[in-house]
Amino acid sequence: MSSVYSAKTGLSSILKTYSPAERERAKNIAINKVRFEMPKQKGILEAVEAVNAHNNFQPLNEFVAFLKETELSDAEFLRVMTDAHKLIYDLSPKFTNLVEALISVPWAKREPAAIQAYIEFYIDIMVAHNKYVQFGIPKLISLWIPADADVAHWPNGTPIDNVKTELEAIHDLLNRILTAIPMSFEVVLEAIENRFPYYKKSTHVIAGYVHNMLWLIEYKPIFVEFVMQLLMQKLVILDVNAPRSEIEETEGDDDEELEEENEDAEIFEMDDCKKAEEDDLLPMKHVIAHTLDVCMEKMLNFLDAKNPNILNASVEQRLEMNKFWKVLLAAFDNVILPCHNTHHVQFLVFYYCSFKHTIAEAFLTSLWDKIKNPNVSAVIRQAAVGYMASFLARGKFVPLPTLKYYLKELCDWAHQYIQRCDQYRQNGSLKANIVFFSLCQAVFYVIAFRSRDLTSDRKSLLFLQSLQLSAIVTCNFNPLRVCLPAVATAFAGVTRAYQLAYCHAILERNARRKLATVYANDTATPEETLDTFFPFDPYLLKMSEKKISTNYLQYQASEAEEASIVATHISPMQRRKRGDSEMCDDIDDFIVADKRQKITDLARSQEREAQFTYGLSPGFHM
């Protein structure tokens, strides 16, 4: 039998240009020639015999070429696999090329008999010759990856029925291999990581692979820790390549167009709701953000299945859920916490914590243990402070006693730090005391953000008084000087409204000092301000946002604070003179929409508002 590679096709030179039709005709001639000669010899049995008896590899090479180049019918495929199964123990490592060609033949879309023949051969060859596991399992994992053209078969990263049936056979085979060959676990881990699609691949390709990874840990929970950490790593890559500013800019174009349309035509409320629902079904215009959105939706649905509040859960299920929480927390600690300025992936932990108060408390305890541990790096401690503050502020499910407990703990730590540093006369620079300054800003932020809850009754006001906030504000470190202006101004409004501390004089003095520094150096120097981000800022992904919003808290100022803010806002604006502090320009960020509308004619804070984009702003203006 002539080799498919040596079959003459009439091509005189590889440099000569041929039309696609001529190239296809030449290919068919070669394939048809091999197909014609195939039945004249005994195929794989004859090829293997020639090697073992006469060390003649030519028939084997021709048969391998035939397998690679020819689309086998189900009947031919069944015959080849049946014959190959008879040679299981003869296919030693010198037949590696043949075995690799056999397991690479497409099989998942064939008739049941052909699929069963392939599975039997695959399992037996791997068990008989463990060497083949090294390339056999990666071939299997590769079948998880949807083809670029299969977008219609993977709506929102979920396979349609016939694709799901094919994948069931693939996962069943992988499950049986993992059970039969324990050493294959390491190979699976390496293959899963190496074959994860590039982050710029089509949404259905990445989401389809994520779907299969989550499927794997359903029947092999031993992989859950590795898979969750790998998924976190890959989602973080998507997250950082879809910056909040880009998403807002890209998606904002649609909002502007919609507003213009609404100005020209009156839309009934029901029509408006219907259009909003339709918009939610549309993919996000930012391609990577859309991929992240679909993947986050799959992850959140997966977490739903791990909800510890599932009714009638057995003792064993509850133990498994407890283990899963530890895995999720470890993935957060190892992957997300050290990453700066991620926007959405951390909401996986936020969402899981919303299931049960004890889980939320466990998360806060984990953060607090890091914050107060001097052996943990300052970078991680500062990040943990940011997560705790944002979690306490935004988590609608965080009960008031828990909120008060951690405010008390944070303030006690701050008071002890101040006393200790006063005793040893420690350097008061931002860098040397980064954890202290971050913690103070967290206290100011949480009190300002949750002021409605923390000032709702006399008991709560007495609690705030017990925190001795004035001692923190007026200490030698002067923490207000390094806080974000938005946080400092909002906190000052709350403390003034309820006579907890008097911050405005300090803010004015800090502003004058900064101004004096600029004039003294002739040039503007960078202000010493905390590098802060608020990890649970508003969620921007359209599809998966629905699961987050039910447990997400928007800012609501208390009535007394609103009155104080309005008074503070109007008075200086009416009588400001050249050289006065500009701090009052920040106040508009914290006035809720209806209050802001009443003083629009007096406010000149539009430019300042533009500076406080999410990620830099605590979100009080939401």
Q: Residue 25: give the domain boundaries.
A: 1-105
With both helix axes pointing from N to C terminus, report the angle between 20-37 and 58-69 in degrees, rounded to the nearest 10: 130
Question: 409: burial class by Cβ within 10 Å (0-12, 13-18, 19+)?
Answer: middle
Does residue 114 lie within any of the structural domains?
no
What pLDDT digit, counting tens, does each position of 588-608 carry?
344 344 444 433 433 333 333
Does residue 46 lie within any of the structural domains?
yes
Amino acid letter for position 141 = I
Per-residue tokens: 525: 């120097």
Does residue 447 lie within any of the structural domains?
no
Please, are residues 555 and 592 in contact by the beta-carbon 8 Å criterion? yes
CB neighbours of 399 closer than 8 A, spacing ≥ 6?
357
What pLDDT digit, counting tens, does each position of 552-573 carry?
998 876 666 566 555 554 443 3
Does residue 574 lie within any of the structural domains?
no
Domains of the chain: total: 1
Out of 59-73, 169-183, 309-323, 450-464, least confident range: 309-323
Does residue 55 lie within any of the structural domains?
yes
Quick one: which of 124, 550, 70, 537 has its CA closest to 304? 550
CB neighbours of 109 closer than 8 A, spacing ≥ 6?
166
Please, are residues 484 and 531 in contact by the beta-carbon 8 Å criterion? no
Instruction: Assess whether pLDDT exceeds 70 at residue 585.
Output: no
- What is the arithmetic mean of pLDDT over 476-495? 90
Does residue 83 lie within any of the structural domains?
yes
* Interatomic CA distance for residues 119 and 85, integer angstroms: 10
Out of 68-77, 304-313, 445-454, least confident range: 304-313
Rounded percentage of the chain residues whose pLDDT exceeds 90: 62
- The b/e string for 59-80 (b: 16+ C-beta within 10 A; e otherwise) is bbbbbbbbbeebebebebbbbb
pLDDT band at 533 (very low <50, low <70, confident <90, very high): confident
Tell me the pLDDT of the chain averaged across its residues. 82
Does residue 228 lie within any of the structural domains?
no
Does residue 42 lie within any of the structural domains?
yes
Please, are residues 489 and 507 in contact by the beta-carbon 8 Å criterion? yes
CB neighbours of 202 closer than 8 A, spacing ≥ 6?
148, 151
What is the number of other CB atoms lying within 10 angstroms of the CB of residue 281? 9
Highest mean pLDDT among 248-252, 273-277, 441-445: 441-445
The pTM of the full predicted model, rounded to 2 decimals, is 0.81
